[in-house]
Amino acid sequence: MHTNEYLELETEDAIKRFHTGENFYSQHVFGYHQEERDGETGFVFRVWAPNAQQIWLVGTFNNWDESLPMQKNEEYGYWEVFTTKPAENDLYKYKVRQEDGREVYKIDPFAFVFEKRPDNAAVIHHVPQKKWKDGLWYGRKKRSNFFRRPINIYEVHASSWKHHEDGAPYSFADLKEELIPYAKEMGYTHIEFMPLMEHPLGASWGYQLIGYFALSSYYGKPEEFQDFVEECHRNNIGVFVDWVPGHFCVNDDALAKYDGTPQFEYQDPDRAANVRWGSINFDLGRPEVQSFLISSALFWLEMYHIDGIRVDAVSSMLYLDYDDGPWKTNHEGGNRNFEGYYFLQKLNAVVKLAHPEVIMVAEESSSDTQVTGLIETGALGFDYKWNMGWMNDVLKFYKMDPAFRKDHFNLITFSFMYMMQENYILPLSHDEVVHGKKSLMHKMWGDRYKQFAQLRNMYTYMMTHPGKKLLFMGSEWGQFLEWKYDEGLEWQDLNDAFNKNMQYFTSSLNQFYKEQPALWELEESYDTISIIDADNHNDSVLSFIRKSKKKKDFLIIVLNMTPVERQDFHIGVPYQGSYKEIWNTEMKEFGGTWEEHNPDQLTEDVPFKEYPYRIKTVVPALGALILRPESIKVSRKPPAAK
């Protein structure tokens, strides 16, 4: 059998699987590929458009004319043409005569590279096979359990982290030189990027995509991003990427009604229209769409060695009534979007089968569906879920005048009631510092000194609360202005002592978190935490213990939510002995006024709530303390009779 006949059989099999929703590498058959036919080396182009009347391949290689008509495979609804004309860096599109006869220039849905926006022709670009040098990183990942390791994520919008003096955003070649050393120095374990896939409008922040296989040319070449990820791994930093499989851009030259009919979107116009975001919803029940999207996810994981994917807007895929527009109940009379539910389970099953070490994260705001956990139990199969409830409660509490916090103390304690229902990431993300919501710093109550004190307090609370961590760029030094997607961060803030001290505080806290097994080693179970006092509403002081596998290795966390210093403050402890203060947010180097830590505290043989002993210390106004046992006796006496 000739080579061409083998290729034809492989292509037919791949396209059959694409139509059954089981081709998870569909970019290997669609888009453009170099082939040899009849002794000539050229390119074959394929596109799926079952209801188009005719399609032409047009580009710089044929002056955008109709000299390269594509031939339709009637059985499977795809179009194909072989040509020797294109060369490296040539541009191309498909000219589609749609079902109603209208002719539209469309992008290639499987293109790897596009020209810079606002133009959107695909680019013929050969990405060389990379010889990766991150084997040590992969070896460590496979040997470790990420549930029992520290995860502290620095969330980044790639084109607004820093700009050049002429206003041009950094490319990934630039970010490799500056962002990686910065993230390493700051003590982050992972960098998470808002969507990097091709999108036509910067104001969408990347959440309305057109190119699901293309790194946005705004950020540089694919090779540059590969090198960036490799360098992250060589510096022991993981990389996550946001991905949007729920909805896509409405642009007429992209996926919307590609062949003139609802092709990638739902047939029902109410289900297809995403009113809230002005976009179009994928038909997640259509097999070809499943093949397309899961292929995109695996492509990013494998092409770029990505360590995890954060799936955006999961609630919009789970509930028919999530959007603002009209909706109809499902066949059971409820609001469950069964297509979305089963697609997400399938996505996670496929990814985990291929790459068990990859971390799958859901940005999901409801509590009606089990998001993390085993698919066999009815969960969606994600590893982590953003804890939006924790985030909303915490920010509401810290914005409040401390005089009223005693009446709303449950805002910072309620999460202890449900913290093990899912595997959570605690997010202080980009969504909280835009659209008039103010920056995290600006949300805080009081004058500038008190705002920084509370920011330090809140970050300590986040870092000691069970759950992995995420902080948006600029928040690490308390940027006062809201984030602007089209400008660089306010790096000049660091000329101010308050901001510089805040940055040092965040870096120190990040390092502290990584060094303390009590903050992550038992995070999968309630054994990780014991509440000391969550009922001190009047003083508004919260205290609890975080524990590791070793009995003597635990931390006592005390958070004062008022601008009143608490003298001789009593704290319950489990063992007799001495306790040392190892963290105080009011130390001078962090921007506070304290020059020395509290002295070591000896236990008093007096019960405190359920604890047989107590210690006393000074808790600074709006401050947070962390203590550890210095010399203790682990034999525990029973609580005294009340």
- pLDDT score of 4 more than 60: no
pTM equals 0.96
Distance between CA 159 and CA 276 in Å, rounded?
25
Both tokens assigned to 184: 């390493």
Residue 216 near residue 206 (C-beta atoms within 8 A): yes
User: How many CA atoms are closer than 13 Å to the CA of 123, on its beta-carbon side?
Assistant: 20
Distance between CA 228 and CA 172 in Å, rounded?
6
pLDDT tens-digit readout, 295-336: 999 999 999 999 999 999 999 999 999 999 899 999 999 999
- pLDDT score of 57 more than 50: yes
**Which of 36, 179, 247 has its CA nearest to residue 474?**
179
pLDDT tens-digit readout, 266-305: 999 999 999 999 999 999 999 999 999 999 999 999 999 9
Q: Which domains does the chain have, with CATH numbers?
A: 3-123 (2.60.40.10), 526-633 (2.60.40.1180)
* Vertex 438 angle, CA 411 and 189, to 5°: 75
Beta bridge partner(s), residue 566: 619
Give the chain's radius of gyration (CA, Å): 28
- pLDDT score of 13 more than 60: yes
Is 328 exposed, middle or buried (CB count within 10 Å of its CB: 0-12, 13-18, 19+)? exposed
Distance between CA 53 and CA 71 in Å, rounded?
11
Distance between CA 413 and CA 15 in Å, rounded?
53
- pLDDT score of 642 more than 50: no
Both tokens assigned to 380: 């969606």
User: Which residue, chain included where needed, has tokens 């109550």?
Assistant: 445
- pLDDT score of 2 more than 50: no
Cα 344 to its chain centre, rounded Å, is: 16
Supply φ then ψ for residue 373, to 5 degrees: 115, -175
What percent of the chain has pLDDT above 70? 97
- pLDDT score of 453 more than 90: yes
Q: Please give the pLDDT value at position 6.
A: 45
Q: Indicate the average pLDDT of the chain.
A: 95
Would you place residue 1 in the very low, low, confident or very high pLDDT band (cuts 50, 70, 90)? very low
Which positions are catalytic? 312, 363
Would you place residue 514 in the very low, low, confident or very high pLDDT band (cuts 50, 70, 90)? very high
**DSSP letters along 614-642, please?**
EEEEEE-TT-EEEEEEEEEE---PPPPP-
Dihedral Cα 384, 389, 390, 395, nearest 10 deg: 130
